[in-house]
Structure 1
C-alpha cells in the first residue's frame, strides 16, 4: 500500500510521520508527474486552502488528482483539505475539486475560537481527540453523505463513498483511529476498480 500525500503547503509532514509509524509507505506529491503516479490513497492536509488550490493548478496536479478522486481513490482530507473537496463554500466563491457533496464554511469559528481542542465520538470509533485551528465546519450535506461527528451542533466529520472529510487535525494528536479508519477503507476496496480508469 502506498499513500500519496499532497506536499505543497501545510501540515503534510505530520501525516507522513503517522503513516511511517503505522508501517505504510507514502509518496510526496509535489508536481504533475507525482500526481500521475500509482498510489492507493490520498491525504489532503491542513494548511491554507487558497494557496493549496493555486499551487495544485500551477504545478499541474489539479486535474489528475480530481480525476483519481472522482473515480474512487480513497481520500482523507483535514481542514484545508476538506475545503478542497467541498462541492460548495458558503462564504467564498472559490471551488476546487468539488467531489464531496457538502457545503462548507471557511474559518467558521472566528477569532475567539480560532483554535481549540475537544474530544467527541467519530462514527463507531468512540471518542477521538480533535484539534481545531482556524477551522471550517460543514453547514449542510447532500444525500449519501454520512455524518461521522458533530461539535456544538456543527458537523465536523463526514464520509462519502471513498472520501473522509474532517474539520479538525487528527495528525496533531497521539490517537491513530482516524488514520487507521482511512487505511482500512483502502484495504477493503477493489483498488483496480479506479486505477484502471484513472490516468
Structure 2
C-alpha cells in the first residue's frame, strides 16, 4: 500500500512519519504524473494560498480533481480541508483555486490568526467506534478554518466549541468577505500597537514600517500581494490626519450564532479535518483513513466480482469434425 502526500508546502513530512509508524509507505507528490503511482492522497496543512500557487505552477489542479473524481481516498487537513471544499469564504484578495468534491462551505482562518491558535479536546465517537482508544481526541488548531455548512451526504465527525476570546467581529452581511493579506500578516503587530490615526507626515513612515514588518512575517511568495494592497489601505489626508483602516475578517452571521463549529467531516472517500492529527502522538485518524482505503478496495473487488457473475458470454462454437475411416 502506497499513500501519497502532497508535498508542496506545510506538514507533509509529519504525515509521512505517522504513516511510517503504521507500517505504510508514504511518498511525496509534487507532479501530476506521481498521482498515478499512489492509491490514496493526503493534502497536509500549511499556507493554503501558497500551496494553491505552487499547485497552479506545477499544473496539479486538473490531475488532483481527476484523482478525487475517480473515487480515490483523499484526506485534507487544515489547508487541505480548504482545498477539498466546494466553496470557501473569507479568502484573501483574489481568492484561490480549489479542488472541490466535498459538499461543504469552509471559512478560511475562522478561528483567527496565528496567535489565536489553540488545542481542544474533541468528542470523536466515530473514531472511537472504529479505532478504539479514549473517547476524545486532542485537536491542534493552527490558524484553522471552520466548516460553516455541509450537504446532506456529508457525515460530521467532530465539532468544537467556539473559543470565547476570538478577536473576529460579527457581521451578517459578509458571507463572502475577502481578507486583506496584509492585515493577517500584521495582525499581531497591530494588536500590540493599535494604530488608529496618524498625522500626514507620518503617513509615509507608516508605509515603510508596514512593508518592513510584512516582509518579515510573510513568506516571499506573498510579498507581491502585500505590495499590491499596502498603498490603497491608507486613506487620503482629511483635516490634517490620515487613518489606517484595519479590515478584520468577519464571521458570517449563521456561524456566529452557533455554539459549535464543525471541524471534521467525511463524504464517501473524502475525509477532512480542520486540525492537525499529524502533530500529535495519536495515530487513530491516520489509521481510520487507511481503513477507508481498504474499504474502497473491497468495494471495488466486490463490484468486479458482481459484474463478472452477471456477464454472459456466448457459447463457444461447435465444430463437426469429419469421421475418417481407414
TM-score by length of 1: 0.91
**Superposed displacement of residue 171, structure 1:** 0.4
Residue 140 (str. 1) matches residue 149 (str. 2)? yes
Q: Which residue of 2 aligns with 1:197?
A: none
Q: Which residue of 2 aligns with 1:131?
A: 140
**Superposed displacement of residue 189, structure 1:** 1.2
- Measured against aligned partners, the alpha-carbon deviations of 1:66-120 in whole angstroms (never above 9, x if no partner) come to 1011111101110000000011112234341111110000011114862101111
CA distance in 2 between counterparts of 1:182 and 1:109 reads 25
Match of 2:37, SS? coil
The structure whose Rg is larger is: 2
Q: Which residue of 1 aligns with 2:3?
A: 3
Query: Judging changes above 3 Å, is the alpha-carbon distance between structure 1 residues 192 and 9 closer, same or farther for their aligned structure 2 residues?
Result: farther
Point out 4+ residue stretches in structure 1 off by more than 4 angstroms: none
CA distance in 2 between counterparts of 1:133 and 1:112 reads 6
Match of 1:190, SS? helix
Q: Which residue of 1 aligns with 2:286?
A: 179
Deviates more, 1:53-62 or 1:178-187: 53-62
**Superposed displacement of residue 192, structure 1:** 8.9
Within a 5 Å distance, the mapping from 1:47-86 to structure 2 comes to: 47-86=46-85
Mapped contact 2:114–2:143 kept (Cα < 8 A): no
Match of 1:10, SS? coil
Query: Judging changes above 3 Å, is the alpha-carbon distance between structure 1 residues 181 and 192 closer, same or farther for their aligned structure 2 residues?
Result: closer
Compute the RMSD of aligned alpha carbons: 1.6
Which is richer in helix? 2
**Superposed displacement of residue 32, structure 1:** 2.4
Q: Which residue of 2 aligns with 1:39?
A: 38
- The match for 1:190 among 277, 292, 297 is 297
CA distance in 1 between counterparts of 2:68 and 2:58 reads 18
Specify every segment of 5 or more residues in structure 2 that has no aligned partner in the other structure, as ranges.
Answer: 129-134, 162-259, 301-326
- The match for 1:151 among 146, 152, 160 is 160
Residue 99 (str. 1) matches residue 101 (str. 2)? yes
CA distance in 1 between counterparts of 2:26 and 2:299 reads 18
**Superposed displacement of residue 41, structure 1:** 0.9
Specify every segment of 5 or more residues in structure 1 that has no aligned partner in the other structure, as ranges.
Answer: 194-199
Residue 90 (str. 1) matches residue 197 (str. 2)? no
Q: Which residue of 2 aligns with 1:164?
A: 271
Mapped contact 2:114–2:142 kept (Cα < 8 A): no
TM-score by length of 2: 0.57
Match of 1:189, SS? helix
CA distance in 1 between counterparts of 2:275 and 2:19 reads 18
Within a 5 Å distance, the mapping from 1:117-128 to structure 2 comes to: 117-124=119-126, 125=128, 126-128=135-137
Mapped contact 2:52–2:96 kept (Cα < 8 A): no
Deviates more, 1:57-66 or 1:151-160: 57-66
**Superposed displacement of residue 122, structure 1:** 1.9
Which is richer in strand? 1
Query: Judging changes above 3 Å, is the alpha-carbon distance between structure 1 residues 50 and 169 closer, same or farther for their aligned structure 2 residues?
Result: same
CA distance in 1 between counterparts of 2:151 and 2:3 reads 28
